[in-house]
Amino acid sequence: MGYPDQRFDVNLSILFTELPLLERPAAASAAGFTAVELWWPWIETPTPEQAELDALKKALDDAGTQLVGLNFYAGQLPGPDRGALSVPGTESDRFRANIEVAADFAASTGCKALNALYGNRIDGVDPAAQDELALENLVLAAHAADRIGAILLIETLNAPESPRYPLVSAPAGIEVVDRINAATGLGNAKFLMDLYHLSMNGEDLSQVITAYAGRTGHVQIADNPGRGAPGTGSLPLEQLLDELAKAGYDGWVGLEYKPGDRPSAESVEWLPATARAARR
């Protein structure tokens, strides 16, 4: 058992955010990381200018960092939004406009995992209609991911922090994964197992790992309570990651926690330097 047995990446949308976006890959590299992930960086637009996309790719390349995970457009994140694809009207249209843009950017960087946040429930809209819209958009996203040889990730959040988000349990996330794969026949939809969110929902994490490790395409971690670095709360994260490895999961583990009142580079000191330069 031990953290060096995992492949870690760092989420540059929650860590190193004390720096401008284009400086974060170099900062992550200086801290010893070779792999990073991102929420959709341009929260105001699903279709940024090509020059902005090119600048981010150059920053990643210059830093020697591999992008291993990217969210599709998800609205104001961080903020009140929790995705766009099931929200009728403008937000759904913005998600659709983003699909090929995000997939093309992922392809240009070698990224093989695209995450689609489901979206909040909306007052006055039938939940069944939202679910139907969600499936339509997720089918489009799955095909775009397949075009570039990537997987489509479905993430569950937690009810205390995201009370209007309908996917707040591992079985709920897996059900959507199954719907997508049944609709497309591609089999490229996978579960994003965020141990922090699942713990906030009170789920038995060991049981979730046993049941769904084989359906999981990506893992994210933060301690609970507080969503801080491992060791700041009470989750047995080293044990849980060992259980994941024993269950056959050998994919990326994303650091998606708040650094607290210290620079992000200091908040990763719990992780041995040998574990930060991920094996390719």
Phi-psi region of 70 (alpha: psi -120 to 50; beta: other; left: phi over 0): beta
Token pair listed for 122: 């909306």
Q: Determine which one of 37, 91, 243, 256 is catalytic.
A: 256
Per the structure, the complete domain to which residue 107 belongs is given by 3-276
HSE-CB at 53 with a 13 A cutoff on CA atoms is: 18
**pLDDT for the residue 1:** 42
Q: Determine which one of 155, 175, 203, 266 is catalytic.
A: 155
**pLDDT for the residue 280:** 42
**pLDDT for the residue 67:** 98
**For tokens 């981010």, what's the residue?**
56
> Residue ranges of the chain with pLDDT lower than 70?
1-4, 278-280
- CATH code at 187? 3.20.20.150
Long-range contacts at 101-105 (CB < 8 A, ≥ 24 apart) = 101/46, 101/47, 101/48, 101/53, 102/40, 102/46, 102/70, 102/71, 102/72, 102/73, 102/144, 103/144, 103/145, 103/147, 103/148, 103/150, 104/148, 105/53, 105/56, 105/57, 105/70
Q: Provide the Cα torsion 106, 111, 113, 114; round to 10°.
A: -20
Active site residue 256: yes
Active site residue 238: no
The count of structural domains within the chain is: 1
